[in-house]
Amino acid sequence: MRHEIEIDYTKQAADHLRNESKRLGASSEIKSGHAHMLVAAAFGYSTRKAMQDDPKGPYFHDQWLGNEAGDIEKIKEVIGRMNGAPVQLDQAPLIASIIQDGLMPACIECGTHSSQSSPLGDVKPGNDADWVCPSCAKDKFQFGRCRFCDSDVLHRLDDLDDQGLCKEHKGELDYSEEDLDDMESYIENVQKDG
């Protein structure tokens, strides 16, 4: 699904990191500039500007950015250079995790950002989708899995038929006329011989 409004997921991640300052036990709220530096560091850059200027850098509107961020050593390096950093070097892994969560689209059910969220449908990286967090995905009255899709592909129950198949696999359990004729012949032979 292509969203009409392009979201800058790096900015969203910086905002998410600032909102999660208390969870980090930060000495004060993380300032916007520091948050953007930490997000850039998660991608291996020293500054947001360096990340923006890199023609091979991350595409800011890609819903799958959370898979690319997590450079803990670079986060430590950036924390060490910050004046009055409200976070400590040993918090770099938690900061990376919070940034990865913030880079993900919000759950369509509850609005939670989680790097463990799943896209709805068989969506390939780089394509847009609606996402569902792990907690909401457990709702068996809303979501399910197709019997033939990979086990990590989540669907709305409304998108699965009564045989538990998605639109792509619909009819795969149906028998062809030839299959039905073969079964009928087999039954006749077994009954004759039986």
Q: Are 51 and 99 in contact (CB under 8 A)?
A: no
- When pLDDT is cut at 50, 70 and 90, the band that residue 4 belongs to is low
Q: Cα–Cα distance between 108 and 127 in angstroms, integer?
A: 16
**Distance, CA of 79 to CA of 192 (rounded, Å):** 82
CA 104 to mean position of chain CA atoms = 6
Q: Are 35 and 87 in contact (CB under 8 A)?
A: no
Percent of the chain with pLDDT over 90: 46
Which pair of structure tokens corresponds to residue 114? 């989680």
pLDDT tens, position by position, 89-119: 999 999 999 999 999 999 999 999 999 999 9
pLDDT at residue 151 in the model: 79
Please give the Cα distance from 189 to 53 (Å, whole number): 74
